[in-house]
A and B are shown apart, each in its own frame.
Chain A
Amino acid sequence: MTNGNLPRLSLHVPEPPYRPGAQVDFATLKVPPAGMQPRPDETCSAVDTHPLCLDMVRVLGEDHRAHGPWDPGLDAATLIRMLRLMALTRAFDARMVRAQRQGKTSFYMKSTGEEATAVATAMALAEDDMVFPSYRQQGLFIARGYPLVEMVNQIFSNRADKLKGRQLPIMYSAREQSIFSISGNLATQYPQAVGWAMASAIKGDSRIASAFLGEGSSAEGDFHSALTFAAVYNAPVVFNLVNNQWAISSFSGFAGGERTTFAARAIGYGIAGLRIDGNDPLAVFAAVRWAADRARANAGPTLIEHFTYRAEGHSTSDDPGQYRSAAEGTQWPLGDPIDRLMRHLIAIGAWDAGRQAAMDAEVDAQVRAAVRAAEANGTLGHGLHHPFRTMFEDVFETLPWHLVEQSRQAIHERHVKWPEWSDDADVGEGR
């Protein structure tokens, strides 16, 4: 290695500010006051949104009231519905983690702290807008009325599981609710959403597409492809990028978050961008509605960075205490989305502690009832809830000869390996 007179180069490897045990100080995190951000017209030029990519759209202030031009002006009934859906999502998450610990399923992922990004987005979109979620938007399914019991059936991979026990828990599919099948491969849904939106435009439809991914996944090539195609064809799509600061153990710096905001990436593609307080349900609703209206008006795609915090572990297989300070969550300056909306409703005189307690009890009972109903269809357990032939179905529309042969072998093995369950000869009855 020759150096000459030149300085030695050095590699920068990002390091998160607060490792386990560290004191947390979020003073450096710029959180602008609510209501200070301008709201351009939905059909504005993409370039006009660029200041908003570096700012942060906020509606709910420290006084728990709505401020500024982004206040969506929702009535109390709608806000209460939003609060309830978020509370239901949180109750569902809590119950499912318990079910995983009890061995009723293999795996679960909570969305604690991010309920607003899914629920308020669902409420801001039209019901038949197609959504391409990642794995942390359970609030979307709940807000669109996908039955809780169907979700639990899928998580338990039981005999009522619509996906026939093929998919890892939480990888739902809900075509009837206009929600696309969830894939384990990160970011693949982004170009797919663009394609769906392009198809809608090709057919002269009025429906738009919306996609979700995390800030970590935005490093995938699919993110770049999606934004390029969306820009090139002016596709009617709303991109949601949930920046919850963590991709498993990697902080957002490993996705490029140290240098600029994730919303600022919109600038380079020539599409509209918004960076919003993701724990402010009113800001989420307003921003998504803005972007949806923009797409519907053929004014083009929008990238929305939902700035939030992953309050819990990545999944039931993860222990965040191993890589980040526990104080981060409690001191997160943007608070908790459910708590903030509750306080707002109380501040405007539409809510009180008694109603909150009653609602909490109701959503908990609703979840318990769904879990009970799903448990009657079986839990993961031995896993043999579905006839073995179903393992071979839907690989193709019809079974080619090699799958017919392999299906016969599997059914034969059922008799050899599990003779006590062979009496039904794999004719389709679940157990």
Chain B
Amino acid sequence: MSMIEAINDALDVMMARDCAVIVMGEDVGYFGGVFRATAGLQKKYGKTRVFDTPISECGIIGVAVGMGAYGLRPVPEIQFADYIYPGLDQLVSEAARLRYRSAGEFTAPMTVRTPFGGGIFGGQTHSQSPEALFTHVAGLKTVVPSTPYDAKGLLIAAIEDNDPVIFFEPKRLYNGPFNGHYDEPAIPWARHPDSLVPAGHYRVPLGQARIVRAGEAVTVLAYGTMVHVAREVAERQGIDAEVIDLRTLVPLDITTIEASVNKTGKCLIVHEATRTGGFGAELSALVQERCFHALEAPIERVTGFDTPYPHSLEWAYFPGPVRIGEAFARLIAA
């Protein structure tokens, strides 16, 4: 399966298992979503369980909070993560804090799915990676899959989770893994081992990272598209890197991170999002605090630049093989 098919399958599985699961968002109903993630679901489950919404992110999230209070398990879609901001008040002030402020009387068991990340010539408003805005919010869980297998298992786990989850889908990975070499032919998921997706229900637990590639020389902390890019660079440069796909940013799998950095003594953090205040800063601080005595070199962060995401200069902006490769070289030389 491709990642899109895996996401569609996860929604299908959960809608069949639990009649409280509701899918809604802009163009998700009859049309099946602009990325086809909800294709066929309305036909299968009916218009009261899968439906189109007005173009109002504030409304979509706000309504989902109310549905959760009733006892449903809504899975709203925000068409692009770049457009989640009108719904931010409802996410930050309401969904994230409802359990806390009501001492558990009301909860927001919702999963906000939203395509994110660049590498598709999406320009400023179809490429952003706003995960750090959400990891900063107490009460929200933040998930980013990087493979079809994980996408399905993590989405099922997110929907079953009783806390609000922001589920970022790297749209560059929807149809195939992306290794950062934009000038090479695209690879479909069919040839990738992680595209083998079991039928039916399975869960990839939130809060557990995955060691994508074991290694001894340097630890790479990445998520989403950058997992594939960083791994490719390590392999082409022949670096014995341990690549960790975080999968969940909150809650974070600190145990796996610590074990790896304590072993390698070096750490490279890679994300597409802008650098300043990005989630990489939190990761860097955690590694510094918890693995200080094991560190043999300064922690490196390879990220997007602190600019809005450009259109024509996409491949100059994207933290691709050159930027990652030079960071690897510095770490290895240190």
What residues make up the interface of A, taking CB atoms closer than 8 Å to B? Answer: 130, 132, 162-164, 166-167, 171, 173-175, 180-181, 183-185, 188, 190-203, 209, 221-222, 224-226, 228-229, 232, 394-397, 400-402
The answer to whether B105 and A173 touch across the interface, beta carbons within 8 angstroms, is yes
Shortest CB-to-CB span from A252 to chain B, Å, is 23
User: What is the size category of the interface that chain B forms with chain A?
Assistant: 35 or more
* Listed A/B pairs (22) with beta-carbon separation below 8 Å: A181-B98, A183-B97, A191-B90, A192-B62, A192-B63, A192-B69, A195-B68, A195-B74, A196-B69, A198-B67, A202-B48, A202-B49, A221-B58, A221-B86, A222-B59, A225-B59, A226-B62, A228-B54, A232-B54, A395-B99, A400-B251, A401-B251
Q: Which of B62, B68, B138, B141 contacts A225 (CB 8 A)?
A: B62
Check B70–A200 contact: CB distance below 8 A.
yes
User: CA separation between A226 and B56, bound complex, in Å?
Assistant: 10
Q: Are B56 and A199 in contact (CB under 8 A)?
A: no
Question: With A199-B66, A199-B72 as given contacts, are A185 and B56 in contact (CB-CB < 8 Å)?
Answer: no
Q: Does B64 contact A (CB under 8 A)?
A: yes
Q: Is the beta-carbon distance between A175 and B65 smaller than 8 angstroms?
A: no
Min C-beta distance of B61 to chain A, whole Å: 8
Which residue, of B22, B58, B102, has the highest number of chain A Cβ atoms within 10 A?
A: B102
Contact in complex: A396, B139 (CB < 8 Å) = yes
Mark B292-311 against chain A: 1 for CB-CB distance below 8 A, else 0.
00000000000000000000
Interface positions, chain B 109-156, Cβ under 8 Å from A, are: 138-139, 141
> Does B59 lie within 8 Å of A226, measured CB to CB?
yes
Nearest CB in chain B to that of A182: its residue: B101
Residues of A within 8 A of B49 (CB): 202
Known: A167-B101, A190-B62, A395-B138. A228 touches B56 (CB 8 A): yes
Instruction: Write the nearest CB–CB distance from B307 to chain A, whole angstroms.
Output: 28
Q: When the two chains form their complex, are residues B251 and A402 in contact, meaning their CB atoms are under 8 A apart?
A: yes
The answer to whether A181 and B141 have CB atoms under 8 Å apart is no
Is A209 within 8 A of B66, CB to CB? yes
Query: Within the complex, which residue of B74, B86, B93, B250 is in contact with A185, where a contact is CB–CB below 8 Å?
Result: B93
Distance of A202 Cα from B59 Cα, bound (Å): 17
Q: Known contacts A195-B65, A400-B207; can you find 5 more A-B pairs with CB under 8 A?
A: A166-B103, A183-B94, A221-B86, A228-B54, A402-B252
Q: Is B315 an interface residue (CB 8 A)?
A: no
| CB < 8 Å neighbour of B89 from A132, A175, A188 | A188
What residues make up the interface of B, taking CB atoms closer than 8 Å to A? 22, 48-49, 53-54, 56, 58-59, 61-72, 74, 86, 89-90, 93-94, 97-107, 138-139, 141, 161-163, 207, 250-252, 254
Chain B residues in 8 Å Cβ range of A194: 59, 62-63, 66
B101 touches A163 (CB 8 A): yes
* Contact call B102/A228, Cβ cutoff below 8 A: no
Contact A198-B66, Cβ < 8 Å, known A164-B103, A185-B93: yes
Q: Is the CB of B102 within 8 A of A173?
A: yes
User: When chains A and B are docked, how far (Å) is the Cα of A199 from the Cα of B105?
Assistant: 18
CB distance from A10 to the nearest CB of B (A): 32
Chain B hits for A181, CB < 8 A: 98, 101-102, 105-106
Q: Which residues of A contact B68 (CB under 8 A)?
A: 195
Of B53, B63, B64, B141, most buried by chain A (CB within 10 Å of CB) is B63
Contact yes or no, B54 A229, CB < 8 A: yes
CB atoms of B69 and A191 under 8 A apart: no
Chain B residue, CB-CB nearest to A231: B54
Chain B residues contacting A175 (CB-CB under 8 Å) are: 102, 105-106
Indicate if the CB atoms of A395 and B69 lie closer than 8 Å.
Answer: no
Query: In whole Å, how far is B16's beta carbon from the nearest beta carbon of chain A?
Result: 17
CB distance from B210 to the nearest CB of A (A): 18
Across the interface, name the chain A residue whose C-beta is closest to B52. A232
- Chain A residue nearest to B22 in the complex (CB): A202
Q: Are A171 and B62 in contact (CB under 8 A)?
A: no
> Which residues of chain B are near A402, meaning CB under 8 Å?
251-252, 254
A173 to B58, Cβ gap below 8 A? no
Distance of A226 from chain B, by nearest CB (Å):
7
Which chain B residues lie closer than 8 Å to A222 at the CB level? 58-59, 62, 89-90
Residue of B whose beta carbon sits closest to that of A193: B66
Contact A166 B100 (CB under 8 A): yes
- Residues in A with CB closer than 8 Å to B56 are 224-225, 228-229
Q: A188, B106: Cβ atoms under 8 Å?
A: no
- Residues of chain A contacted by B69 (CB below 8 angstroms): 130, 180, 192, 195-196
> Is A195 in contact with B67, judged by CB distance below 8 angstroms?
yes
For the complex formed, measure the closest distance between the CB of A105 and the CB atoms of chain B, giving whole angstroms: 17
A394 surroundings in chain B (CB, below 8 A): 99-100, 103-104
Q: Shortest distance in angstroms between B63's beta carbon and chain A's nearest beta carbon?
A: 3
Residues of B within 8 A of A226 (CB): 59, 62
Given A188-B89, A395-B100, A228 and B59 touching (CB < 8 A)?
Answer: yes
B101 near A166 with CB under 8 A, answer: yes
State A173–B97 Cα separation when bound (angstroms). Answer: 13
Cross-chain contact A188 with B59 (CB below 8 angstroms): no
**Residue of A at shortest CB range from B49?**
A202
Q: Which of A173, A183, A190, A196 contacts B70 (CB 8 A)?
A: A196
Q: Residues of A contacting B61 with CB < 8 Å?
A: 191
Q: Could you say which of A130, A184, A228, A400 has the most chain B C-beta atoms within 10 Å of its C-beta?
A: A400
Q: Please, which residue of chain A has its CB at the minimum distance from the CB of B74?
A: A195
Give 6 closest A-B pairs by Cβ, nearest first: A195-B66, A191-B62, A225-B59, A195-B63, A199-B70, A400-B251
Residues in chain B near residue A188, CB distance under 8 A: 62, 65, 89-90, 93-94
Smallest Cβ distance from B329 to chain A, in angstroms?
Answer: 33
> Shortest beta-carbon distance, A48 to chain B, in Å?
25
Instruction: List, in ascending order, chain B residues with CB within 8 A of A221's CB.
Output: 58, 86
In contact, B94 and A192 (Cβ under 8 angstroms): yes
Across the interface, name the chain A residue whose C-beta is closest to B108: A192
- Complex: A400 Cα to B135 Cα, angstroms: 13
One of A162, A174, A198, A397 near B163 (C-beta < 8 A): A397
With the chains together, A197 CA to B69 CA distance in Å?
A: 10
